[in-house]
Chain A
Amino acid sequence: MEYSEKVMEHFTNPHNVGKLDDADGVGEVGNAKCGDIMKMYLKIENDIITDVKFNTYGCASAIATSSIATDMIKGQPLSEALKLTNKAVVEALDGLPAVKIHCSVLAEQAIKAAVKDYYEKNGIEYNADEFKFDEDHHH
């Protein structure tokens, strides 16, 4: 098994690590039993993600995917952020080892969970089908 340089770069110096005390949406996915938890904090103004931070407990690929996914949605409209797929995240990292692909799903799900939280807090209607995933069993 080998990680790409890009993965190691994001793992060694992850971007957007931390919390946002005044976050408009917070999403957490994964669980301790599986060995990875990702928590995403979004600051949203006029449907644009103006700031994003994450906290992740997990392996190098979980941390690297958190880092690059937050980069990819920062400054983006919510509609674009919701389109982010784990495939795009993996491609942006120049690939992940086969056994690690499941870790990349977490980032996509954490973003969706945070946006869903924002919609619910603000009474915004949303299409539930867009947010269908099992929060406890991402594997």
Chain B
Amino acid sequence: MKVYADNAATTKISKKALDAMMPCFEITYGNPSSLHSVGQDAFHAVRDARNTIAECINADADDVYFSSGGSESDNWAIKGAAYLMAKKGKKHIISSKFEHHAVLHTLNVLEKEGFEITLLDVYENGLVKVEDVKNAIKDDTALVTIMYANNEIGTVQPIREIGAVCREKSVLFHTDAVQAVGHVPVDVKADNIDMMSFSGHKFHGPKGVGGLYCKKGIRLPNLIEGGAQEKNRRAGTENVPAIVGMAAALKDACNNMEENTKKLIAMREQLIEGILKIDLSRINGDREHRLPGNVSACFEGVEGESLLLYLDLMGISASSGSACTSGSLDPSHVLLSIGLPHEVAHGSLRLSLCEDNTPEEMEYILEKLPPIIDRLRDMSPLWEKIQKERTK
């Protein structure tokens, strides 16, 4: 059996997205900036896609900008807002400890440029406290940027409440919603969001395309100078097929969200229940406020990369936040941010599901996982130590 359980890394493109894209290569292949009818057809395709996406997140279509993906959107929004507000003497930015590197590394750069960065704690349950945001805001706070849902442990943040605090204090609010859009209901107006990043391939759209919602009135500096695309703010001929594919995928995801969510939660809980039967296992992140398809677990005495490669040999694709998968010596900053000791964080496994997965696949995972853990523990000197400690 083959089980793809790494949908937080990327998803398979949906049939609807693919079908929508194909004519853009062969029929509506024109340049949207061209005035002839081939170009105008492409222009209309991009316009329709923008309208569709705007509808899905309850935005005005004028406020949706296309980009190459989540990282670009995060860079654009955060650097843009920082430079914009610095002109008004505001150079303080609030974020959280477990943001995606597209956010954290951008903040590192800004810190070197003289901005002051406050990274909020996310506590054991992996949730930012609204009170903490409120208390961290100062007179010179330029921006608050908090992710909508965490990519590793799947916790969904109190975005609406954080947004409300920012509105009350007149501070710009950006959210990296790459893991949330298409997975949980997102409404930029009700959620009090000023700027929001999203990415096509996280919801069965193509890779290399994403977007930024930027509320009217926020004059972000231009990202790429050149032509008049994206209202002069991001030049370059539009990636028409990808934009059209992303819109089709998002529409499909939003239309089926209620049904998919039920199915996903059932499979997620099936996995969690089975995983917790394994000795010295734990589930990371709040059990209630989490993405429908995210299971993040740790197994003591086991190293995550070995675990995921043995799973791969069984046809199961998963991911791990162990040091050895990241190319650094420390395990994932996300797992450390929720207070896990290094040695526990090294034994992490993330299974991220989509609606194409089945309960039978979950059974298969739960059948294959325990013997692999046993095998790794049998050869683990760390497990030997843990066992000795327990029998003391």
Chain A residues at the B interface, C-beta cutoff of 8 Å: 1, 11-12, 14, 17-18, 28, 32-39, 54-63, 99-100, 102-103, 139
- Asked if B346 and A55 sit within 8 Å, CB to CB, the answer is no
The answer, among B328, B341, B343, B379, for a CB contact under 8 Å with A56, is B379
Closest to B376 in A: A57
- Apart from A32-B385, A35-B343, A54-B379, list 8 A-B contacts with CB within 8 A: A17-B379, A32-B342, A34-B323, A35-B342, A36-B324, A56-B379, A59-B305, A59-B324
The answer to whether the Cβ of B34 comes within 8 Å of any Cβ in the partner chain is no
Query: Distance (Å) between the CB of A92 and the closest chain B CB?
Result: 20
Name the 6 nearest CB pairs between A and B, nearest first: A59-B324, A32-B343, A59-B305, A57-B380, A35-B346, A57-B382
Q: A28 to chain B: which residues have CB within 8 Å?
A: 381
Q: Are A58 and B329 in contact (CB under 8 A)?
A: no
- Across the interface, name the chain A residue whose C-beta is closest to B300: A32
CB A67 to nearest CB in B, in angstroms, measures 10
> How many residue pairs at the A-B interface have CB separations less than 8 Å?
76
Tell me, rounded to whole Å, the shortest Cβ–Cβ distance linking A124 to chain B. 25
**Interface footprint category on B:** 20 to 34
Contacts of B383 in A (CB 8 A): 57
Query: B10 interface residue, CB < 8 Å from A?
Result: no
In this complex, the member of A32, A55, A99, A103 whose beta carbon has the largest number of chain B beta carbons within 10 angstroms is: A32
Contacts of B381 in A (CB 8 A): 28, 37-39, 55-57
**For the complex, what is the distance from the CA of A62 to the CA of B328, rounded to whole Å?**
15
Residues in chain A near residue B323, CB distance under 8 A:
34-35
Contact: A55 with B384, CB < 8 Å?
yes
Least distance between A31 CB and chain B CB atoms (Å): 8
Q: Are A57 and B309 in contact (CB under 8 A)?
A: no
Contact of A60 among B302, B305, B329, B341 (CB under 8 A): B305
Selected from A55, A59, A99, A103, the residue in CB contact (under 8 A) with B379 is: A55
For this complex, 24 residue pairs linking A to B, each with C-beta atoms less than 8 Å apart, are: A11-B306, A11-B309, A32-B343, A32-B382, A32-B385, A33-B342, A34-B329, A35-B303, A35-B324, A35-B329, A35-B331, A35-B342, A37-B381, A57-B383, A58-B324, A59-B303, A59-B322, A60-B306, A60-B324, A62-B324, A63-B379, A100-B324, A103-B324, A139-B329
Q: Which residues of B contact A1 (CB under 8 A)?
A: 327
Instruction: Name the A residues within 8 Å of B325 (CB-CB).
Output: 59
Which single residue of chain B is at the shortest CB-CB distance from A17? B379
Smallest distance from the beta carbon of B269 to chain A beta carbons, Å? 30
Q: Which has the most chain A C-beta neighbours within 10 Å: B305, B322, B381?
A: B381
Contact B379 A60 (CB under 8 A): no
Which residues of chain B come closer than 8 Å to A37, judged between CB atoms?
Answer: 380-382
B313 within 8 A of A: yes
A54 and B301 alpha carbons, distance in the complex (Å): 16
Picked from B301, B306, B328, the residue with its CB within 8 Å of the CB of A63 is B306
- Return chain A residues, CB-CB under 8 Å to B328: 99
Chain A residues near B322 (CB, 8 Å)? Answer: 35, 59
Give chain B nearest CB distance to A35 CB in angstroms.
4
Which B residues are in CB contact (< 8 Å) with A59? 303, 305-306, 322, 324-325
Contact of A33 among B302, B343, B384 (CB under 8 A): B343
B325-346 interface code vs A (CB 8 A; 1 in, 0 out): 1011101000000000111001
Within 8 Å CB of B385, what residues of A?
A: 32
Which residues from B are CB-within-8-Å of A103?
324
Q: With a CB–CB cut-off of 8 A, which chain B residues contact A62? A: 303, 324
Looking across the interface, which residue of chain A has its beta carbon closest to that of B305?
A59
